[in-house]
C-alpha cells in the first residue's frame, strides 16, 4: 500500500487535528505516518513497537517526511503496562490480531484513553487464523469484542481490497 492508501483507509477515524495518540505495534510506521498526516503538525504521538530495527526505520521515514513531529519512540511490547499520558486515541494497525486475550487486552488499554477517546484499528476481514494472523478479527468480531470490553459505537470507517485475504478494514470504537 502507498502512503495515500494508508491515509484514505483511516481518514474517517481521525476527524480532529492535534491531540495525543499512541500507535501500538507501529512497525516501520506506515500508519503512524498516515496518522501524522491526518492529525497535523500539532499531534503528539507515542509510537510503540518491540522491534527496535523497525522503530529505527520509522524514525528515518519521519525524518524524511515529517521532521517537526512531536513523536516518542517506545521500544516496548504494547501488551505490557505502558507509562502513557491520557490519550485522545489509540491506533492499532495490523497488531490486535497478535493478542490472544483480546477482550481482556481491550479492557486494559481503555485506561489509557481520555473520557471521549477512541480506539482505531486496521485489520484483515477474516476470522480464519493462519501463521501471520494468529487471532484475526473480522469487523463483526471487532464489534462483539469492543462491546464486551465496554467500548461504544463500533463503526467501520474504511475498507480496501487486499491482495492478501481479500479485504482490509478500518474501524473505531469509543470509550
Torsion angle, alpha carbons of 86, 93, 155, 146, to 10: -60
User: Where do the domains of the chain lie, and which CATH numbers do they carry?
Assistant: 3-174 (3.40.50.150)
Question: pTM of the full predicted structure?
Answer: 0.96
Distance in angstroms (rounded) separating the CA atoms of residues 42 and 139: 31
Question: Would strands 167-174 and 44-49 be described as parallel, antiparallel, or unpaired?
Answer: unpaired
Per residue in 75-86, pLDDT tens?
999 999 999 999
pLDDT band at 165 (very low <50, low <70, confident <90, very high): confident
Distance in angstroms (rounded) separating the CA atoms of residues 141 and 137: 5
Listed in sequence order, the residues at least 6 apart from 53 whose beta carbon sits closer than 8 Å to its beta carbon are: none
Tell me which residue of 138, 149, 155, 157 sits closest to 175, measured CA to CA: 149
Amino acid at each position: 500500500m502507498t502512503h495515500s492508501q494508508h491515509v484514505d483507509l483511516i481518514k474517517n477515524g481521525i476527524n480532529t487535528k492535534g491531540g495525543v495518540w499512541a500507535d501500538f505495534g507501529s512497525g516501520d510506521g506506515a500508519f503512524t505516518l498516515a496518522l501524522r498526516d491526518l492529525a497535523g503538525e500539532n499531534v503528539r504521538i507515542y509510537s510503540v513497537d518491540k522491534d527496535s530495527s523497525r522503530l529505527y526505520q520509522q524514525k528515518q521515514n519521519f525524518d524524511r517526511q515529517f521532521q517537526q513531529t512531536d513523536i516518542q519512540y517506545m521500544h516496548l511490547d504494547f501488551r505490557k503496562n505502558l507509562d502513557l499520558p491520557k490519550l485522545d486515541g489509540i491506533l492499532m494497525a495490523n497488531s490486535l490480531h497478535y493478542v490472544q486475550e483480546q477482550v481482556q487486552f481491550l479492557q486494559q488499554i481503555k485506561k489509557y484513553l481520555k473520557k471521549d477517546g477512541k480506539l482505531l484499528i486496521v485489520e484483515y476481514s477474516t476470522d480464519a487464523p493462519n501463521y501471520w494472523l494468529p487471532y484475526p478479527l473480522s469487523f463483526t468480531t471487532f464489534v462483539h469484542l469492543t462491546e464486551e470490553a465496554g467500548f461504544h459505537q463500533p463503526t467501520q470507517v474504511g475498507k480496501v481490497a487486499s491482495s492478501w485475504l481479500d479485504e482490509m478494514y478500518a474501524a473505531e470504537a469509543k470509550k
